[in-house]
C-alpha cells in the first residue's frame, strides 16, 4: 500500500483560510445540503457526515471549509474524497452556499487544495462532473483539469476530469469507496 504525506490541516489562499469541518459548521452545512436535489438532511445526519469527514481528515485527505480571512461566515467547502475514484487517486470536490457563488471562491480554494493534494505524493486527482454543471466544469478547467473519460450512471453521463488529462485506461481502484 502506498503512503502519502497528509494534506495540511490548514491551508491559506488570498481571501480564505481552509480548515476542517467542525461541529459548529452544522447549521450552514444543513443549509447547503438543502440546496441539493436530494432528501432533506437533519442535524443528526449532518453531525454524522461531519464525523465521517473527520475520519477522512485523519487519513490525510477530507474537506476544508472556506473561512474568509475577514472573519465573515463560512462560504462552503472544498474536499479531497474517495468518491467514485480511490484513495490513491481521489476526487476533488467543491460546493458553496448559493450566496457565495460567482465570486471566484471555489477556484481560489480548489487550486490551493489541488496543489496540496498533489504534494502528498499522489500522481493523479479526479473530479467527476455532470456535463450540464457548467459552473463546476469551469472550475475544473480553470484549475487545469481536463476531461479524460465519460461514464454514466442511473442519472446520466458523468465526465471524469483529471489533473493529468490522460486516462490510465482502467477504472481507478475503488477499494476505499
Interface residue list for ligand COA (CB under 6 A): 94-96, 101-107, 129, 133-136, 138-139
- Residue placing its CB nearer to ligand COA in the complex, 4 or 33: 33
Neighbours of 83 (CB within 10 A): 18
Task: List beta partners, residue 160.
Answer: 128, 149
- Residue placing its CB nearer to ligand COA in the complex, 4 or 30: 30
Q: Which residue has the cell 483529471?
A: 162
**What's the CA gap between 35 and 23, in Å, rounded?**
20
Cell of 153: 450512471
Strand-by-strand arrangement of the 146-153 sheet? 11-12, 16-19, 62-68, 76-81, 91-96, 126-129, 156-162, 146-153
- Residue placing its CB nearer to ligand COA in the complex, 156 or 169: 156
What is the DSSP pairing of strand 156-162 with strand 126-129?
A: antiparallel
Q: Closest separation between CB of residue 1 and ligand COA, Å?
A: 28
Q: Closest separation between CB of residue 60 and ligand COA, Å?
A: 22
- Name the nearest CA neighbour of 151 among 129, 125, 136, 118: 129
Q: Closest separation between CB of residue 76 and ligand COA, Å?
A: 6
- Residue placing its CB nearer to ligand COA in the complex, 57 or 81: 81
- Residue placing its CB nearer to ligand COA in the complex, 50 or 93: 93
Amino acid at each position: 500500500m502506498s503512503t502519502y504525506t497528509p494534506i495540511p490541516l490548514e491551508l491559506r489562499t488570498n481571501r480564505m483560510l481552509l480548515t476542517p469541518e467542525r461541529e459548529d459548521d452544522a447549521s450552514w452545512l444543513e443549509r447547503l445540503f438543502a440546496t441539493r436535489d436530494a432528501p432533506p438532511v437533519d442535524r443528526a445526519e449532518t453531525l454524522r457526515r461531519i464525523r465521517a469527514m473527520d475520519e477522512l481528515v485523519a487519513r490525510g485527505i477530507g474537506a476544508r471549509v472556506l473561512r474568509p480571512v475577514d472573519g465573515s461566515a463560512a462560504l462552503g467547502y472544498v474536499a479531497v474524497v474517495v468518491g467514485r475514484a480511490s484513495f490513491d487517486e481521489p476526487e476533488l470536490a467543491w460546493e458553496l452556499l448559493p450566496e457565495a457563488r460567482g465570486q471566484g471562491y471555489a477556484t481560489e480554494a480548489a487550486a490551493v487544495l489541488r496543489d496540496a493534494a498533489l504534494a502528498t505524493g499522489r500522481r493523479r486527482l479526479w473530479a467527476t462532473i455532470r456535463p450540464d454543471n457548467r459552473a463546476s466544469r469551469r472550475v475544473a478547467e480553470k484549475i487545469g483539469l481536463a476531461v479524460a473519460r465519460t461514464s454514466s450512471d442511473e442519472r446520466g453521463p458523468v465526465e471524469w476530469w483529471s489533473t493529468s488529462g490522460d486516462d490510465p485506461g482502467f477504472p481507478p481502484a475503488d477499494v476505499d469507496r
